[in-house]
Chains A and B, each alone.
Chain A
Amino acid sequence: MAKTPAELYRERTRRVEDAIQLKVPDRVPLVVSFGLFPAKYAGITCQDAYYDSEKWGAAVKKTLLDFKPDMYHGSAIVSGAVLGHLGCTQVKWPGDGVSPHHTHQFVEGEYMKADEYDAFFEDPSDWVVRTYMPRIYKNLGPLKSLPRLSSMVFGYGQAMQVGALAAPDVAGALDALVKAGLAARDWQAAHNSLHKEIIELGFPLVSGPSTNAPFDMVTDYLRGMRGTMLDMYRQPEKLIKACEMLLPLLIERGVSGARRSGNPRVFIPTHRGSDGFMSLKQFEIFYWPTFKKLMMAFIDEGLTPCPFLEGDWTQRLEILLELPKGKVLGHFDRTDMKRAKEVLVGHMCIRGNVPSSLLQTRSPQEVIDYCKQLIDVVGKGGGFIMAPGCVVDEAKPENIRAMIDFTKEYGVYH
C-alpha cells in the first residue's frame, strides 16, 4: 500500500534527522535548493515567480511531486511588488532591471560609508530609518528629513513632532510604505499557506528560520566587499564591534523564526569567510568568533544550525570541530568533499556538493558517476546528505532526476 503523505513526512524527517545526528539512516537523504528551477521546469517566467504567488506555488508543488526530494529547501524570493513600491535599488529583479527569465541580482555597494560606524553604534534604529532605508529604497528618500526618532519619546509634549510625518514628501514615503506593507502581507500569507500545503503533501521544510553570520551582514548589506576588506586594515576594531553588535539581533532572528515555524533547523548562508576571501588568521579574528557564538546560541536553544558553507572551505574544516558533535548540518559548495569527510567524520553531518556545471552542462550519466563517488566516499557510515553544491536555477531537469533517482536506489544503507 502506498504511504500516506503524513507517513512520508515522518519518514523523511527521520531520515534527515538521523543523518544530522550521525546515525545511519535507511538511505542517503536528499535535498535540493531549487532556487528558480521550478519556474523554468513548470514553464512560467521567473518574473511570474516574483509577482504571482499562485503560479509560483503551483510550480513549486509540481516540482516537488515530480522529483520527490526528501525535503523542500525554500527559495528566497522577495515580492516584486514590495520591491517596486519601495523603489528598491539594492537589488534588480526580473521585470525590473534583469531579464524576466533570470533570478534577482544584488547591486554591490557601500551602503554604509566608512565613517558611519559611530552613527550606527550610537543609535542603530535611527541610522537605519533615516540613513540606510532612504539610501536603498528610493521611494523612502524623504525619511531623511524626519527628526531623530528618539526625540519623540518625551511624552505628550513631543506629540507635535508628528507634524513631520505629514510633510508632503514624507507623507508620500509613508504611503509607499503602507502599499509595500500590504503587498508584503499578501505575499507572506500566500507563502505561508504554500508551506503548509507542501507539508501536507508530505515534504518537510529543510529550514523554517534563517539568519546570517554577523560578518556577512556587514560585508553584504552594509559596508560591501571592498569596504569591509579595507576596514580589516584601517578600522578593524569597528568592524569587529559591528559584528558583535549585530550578533544578538541575528540570534533573535533565528530563534523567533524557529518558534514561529516550529522548525528547529536554522538556515545560515555564509558568504565572505571562505578560503580566498580571507586568510585563516583573518578568519579567526573577524569571522569565526561571532559566527561560532551564533551557532552555539542556537544549539543552546535546542535548535540545529544549518550553515550553507558557500565557496570553498577546504582550508577551514578543522575549525568546525570546535562545534559540538551531531548538532550541526554543514552544506558544502566547492569544498573538497573527501577531505571534509575525513576531517568531520563522526562529528558533523555534511551536505553537498554536485556541481552546478555538471547539472547544467553534462549528461545524466556523468551526474550519476559523480553521485556514486559521493555516496561511496562521503556517504559511508551515514552523516551525509546528497545535494547540489549550489542553487540550481538553470540545471537540466534530466540531470536533477538522475541525481535523485540514483541516490534513492544506490544510496540505501540497509
Chain B
Amino acid sequence: MTDNLVDAIADLKEEEALRIVKSKLDSGEPPAKILEASRKALEIVGARFAKCEYFIPDLVYSGEILKEISELVKPKLKGATQLEHLGKCVIGTVAGDIHDIGKDIVAFMLDANGFEVVDLGVDVPARKFVEKIQEVNPQVVGLSGFLTLAFDSMKETVEAIRAAGLRDKVKIMVGGGQIDDEVRKYAGADAYRPDAVAAVLLAKEWVRRA
C-alpha cells in the first residue's frame, strides 16, 4: 500500500493522500513509515520539477499536503522516531532584504529532503550567520536575496564568514530574485542555483562529498 501513498502525494491528490494516511494510522502502521513515504513522494515531486513537469505551484501544494500529513502523524509519533538527517544547512535572507517567500520554499524543500535546517529568517546580519555557523557547524550555508540590494550584503556575509575562519568549513550557495552566477562570483560564494530543487540537489551532492 505504501506505493499508493507515494503516488497520491506525488500526483498531488490531496484528498486521496490524506485518506490513505488516516486508514494506515487506524490500522496501526508505524508513523515513521508514513513519513518515509512522504519523503519518497517529495523526491518524485522534485524530479518532476527538475524535468519542468512541475512548477512552483506544485511545490507549494505538495508542501501543503505534507504539512497536513505530518499534523495527522505527529500525535502518534513518540519521541525518537526522527528520521536520520542527511546534513545540516543554515539558511537566511541577507541583511537589508525582508523577503522570505523564496527562502521559505528552499528551506522547506531541504527539510523535506532530509536536511536539518536552521532558518535564520530575513534581514539577517552577517554576524548572525557567523554565530550560527559556529554554533551548529553546518556543511551548507544558503544565502537568499530578492532585490539587487542583496548583492553587497551577500558579499559582506561571505567576507564575514571568511574573516571568522569558517570559509573552508562550509559550502555557500546563493539564490533568489535577481541573483545569478555573476553575483555568486562577486560575493565569493561557491555556487548559484536558480530554484529550490536545484538547491537541494546541490546540497545533497555537497554533503555526499564532505
Residues of chain A whose beta carbon lies under 8 Å from any beta carbon of chain B: 92, 97-99, 102-103, 105-108, 225-226, 229-230, 232-234, 276-279, 282, 355-358, 360-362, 390-395
Q: How far is the CB of B140 from chain A (nearest CB, A)?
A: 23
Q: Are A230 and B98 in contact (CB under 8 A)?
A: no
Q: Are B182 and A105 in contact (CB under 8 A)?
A: no
Cα–Cα, bound, A103→B182 (Å)? 22
Known interface pairs A108-B101, A226-B60; A360-B180 also in contact (CB < 8 Å): no
Q: Are B96 and A229 in contact (CB under 8 A)?
A: no
Q: Are A230 and B64 in contact (CB under 8 A)?
A: yes
B141 interface residue (CB < 8 Å to A): no
Interface string of B55-77 (1 = CB under 8 A from A): 11100110010000000000000
B43 interface residue (CB < 8 Å to A): no
What are the residues of chain B within 8 A of A234 when measuring CB–CB? 14
Q: How far is the CB of A90 from chain B (nearest CB, A)?
A: 12
What are the residues of chain B within 8 A of A230 when measuring CB–CB? 60-61, 64
Q: How far is the CB of B107 from chain A (nearest CB, A)?
A: 14
B97 interface residue (CB < 8 Å to A): yes
Ranked nearest first, the 9 interchain pairs of A and B with the lowest CB-CB distance are: A357-B182, A229-B57, A361-B186, A229-B60, A357-B183, A356-B148, A394-B148, A105-B98, A356-B178
Interface string of B147-191 (1 = CB under 8 A from A): 111011000000000000000000000000011101101100000
A-B contact pairs, 11 of them (CB 8 A): A97-B98, A98-B98, A103-B147, A229-B60, A233-B57, A276-B55, A356-B148, A357-B183, A361-B182, A392-B148, A394-B152
Cα–Cα, bound, A213→B99 (Å)? 22
What 14 new A-B contacts, CB under 8 Å, besides A97-B98, A103-B149, A358-B182? A106-B99, A108-B99, A108-B101, A229-B56, A229-B61, A232-B61, A233-B61, A234-B14, A276-B195, A278-B57, A357-B180, A357-B186, A361-B151, A391-B148
B100 interface residue (CB < 8 Å to A): yes
Q: Are A282 and B55 in contact (CB under 8 A)?
A: yes
Cα–Cα, bound, A343→B34 (Å)? 48
Q: Are B101 and A225 in contact (CB under 8 A)?
A: yes
What are the residues of chain A within 8 A of B180 when measuring CB–CB? 355, 357
Q: Are A360 and B151 in contact (CB under 8 A)?
A: yes
B12 interface residue (CB < 8 Å to A): yes
Q: Are B14 and A362 in contact (CB under 8 A)?
A: no
Q: Are A108 and B100 in contact (CB under 8 A)?
A: yes
Cα–Cα, bound, A5→B57 (Å)? 50
Q: How far is the CB of B55 from chain A (nearest CB, A)?
A: 5
Known interface pairs A108-B99, A394-B148; A233-B56 also in contact (CB < 8 Å): no
Contact of A99 among B56, B96, B178, B195 (CB under 8 A): B96
Please count how many residues in chain B sit with their CB below 8 Å of the partner chain's CB atoms.
29
What are the residues of chain B within 8 A of A360 when measuring CB–CB? 148, 151
Q: Are A276 and B186 in contact (CB under 8 A)?
A: no
What are the residues of chain B within 8 A of A278 when measuring CB–CB? 55-57
Q: How far is the CB of A403 from chain B (nearest CB, A)?
A: 15
Contact of A233 among B14, B149, B179, B186 (CB under 8 A): B14
Q: Please give me the residue from chain A that is nearest to B95 by CB atom.
A: A99
Q: Please give me the residue from chain B that is nearest to A225 by CB atom.
A: B101
What are the residues of chain A within 8 A of B96 when measuring CB–CB? 98-99, 102
What are the residues of chain A within 8 A of B54 when measuring CB–CB? 279
Q: Are A393 and B148 in contact (CB under 8 A)?
A: yes
Cα–Cα, bound, A181→B147 (Å)? 30
What are the residues of chain A within 8 A of B99 when measuring CB–CB? 105-106, 108
Q: Please give me the residue from chain A that is nearest to B187 by CB atom.
A: A361
What are the residues of chain A within 8 A of B149 when measuring CB–CB? 102-103, 393-394
What are the residues of chain A within 8 A of B182 when measuring CB–CB? 355, 357-358, 361-362
Q: Are B98 and A357 in contact (CB under 8 A)?
A: no
What are the residues of chain A within 8 A of B179 when measuring CB–CB? 357
What are the residues of chain A within 8 A of B53 when measuring CB–CB? 279
Q: How far is the CB of A225 from chain B (nearest CB, A)?
A: 6
Cα–Cα, bound, A189→B168 (Å)? 56
Q: Please give me the residue from chain A that is nearest to B98 by CB atom.
A: A105
What are the residues of chain B within 8 A of A106 when measuring CB–CB? 99
Cα–Cα, bound, A334→B195 (Å)? 14
What are the residues of chain B within 8 A of A225 when measuring CB–CB? 56, 60, 101
What are the residues of chain A within 8 A of B60 when measuring CB–CB? 225-226, 229-230
Interface string of B83-116 (1 = CB under 8 A from A): 0000000000000111111000000000000000
What are the residues of chain A within 8 A of B152 when measuring CB–CB? 394
Q: Are B55 and A357 in contact (CB under 8 A)?
A: no
What are the residues of chain A within 8 A of B98 when measuring CB–CB? 92, 97-98, 105, 107
Cα–Cα, bound, A234→B55 (Å)? 16
